[in-house]
Amino acid sequence: MVAGATPRLTADEFLAWERDQTIRHIYVRGEVFAMAGGSPRHNRLSARVIGRLEVGLAGGTCGVFTSDQKLGLPNDEFVYADAVVVCGPLSLRPGTTDVVTNPCAVIEVLSKSTESYDRGDKQKGYLAVPSLRHFVLVSQREPRVEVYTRQEDGSFRFDVVESGAAVRLERIGVTILVDELYAGVFELPGD
């Protein structure tokens, strides 16, 4: 959730500066934006996604990371997602120990304040990552999950999954039931 901008920095200046900050920031085209916290509904959905990914990936070569994992996107953009899956060894930005560049799946829980960015420039950056197999958007307003799955020819298939169905992340071997993901979340305050 973008909260406010700071002066322009180079990519390397940003990475050095952010390591000393008490809150997280994203870096987009030279601009730095502070991240705000999510609503209880947003956070519950994020936790549910991470939990189901962790169970579904158990015993394999893929691992789940939380929203604290910084991702390096093409064009020197640095962002955070609500959940990230990496398969095999981590690939890190040269000279860093905390910027992952090889996500296999990225999950974003949509918020009013960031939805246009998540569906726009951020999505474009994610889809440009060669290792990405799935990009997932989780609605806070209704039981609806949008899934982009990379095909063998490099294009992405788009699926909308709603109540009564299952999100199938076949390229990482995980299935998530939509009704289990959303059980009780609409009783919590959203954004």
- The tens digit of pLDDT for each residue in 125-148 reads 999 999 999 999 999 999 999 999
Nearest to 72 by CA among 162, 12, 9: 12
Distances in Å between the alpha carbon of 2 and those of 5, 34, 64, 77?
8, 6, 24, 14
d(CA 15, CA 17): 6
- With a cut of 90, say whether residue 4 has pLDDT above it: no
Q: What is the pLDDT of residue 3?
A: 44
Distances in Å between the alpha carbon of 74 and those of 11, 98, 130, 179, 189?
12, 16, 10, 35, 35
Percent of the chain with pLDDT over 70: 96
Which CATH code of 3.40.50.10800, 3.90.1570.10, 2.30.110.10, 3.30.470.10 fits the domain covering 38-187?
3.90.1570.10
The DSSP output letter for 143 is: S
Query: How much is the pTM?
Result: 0.92
Higher pLDDT, 27 or 29: 27
Contact assessment for residue 80 and residue 62, using Cβ atoms and an 8 Å cutoff: no
d(CA 173, CA 59): 11
- With a cut of 70, say whether residue 9 has pLDDT above it: yes
Nearest to 79 by CA among 7, 16, 15: 15
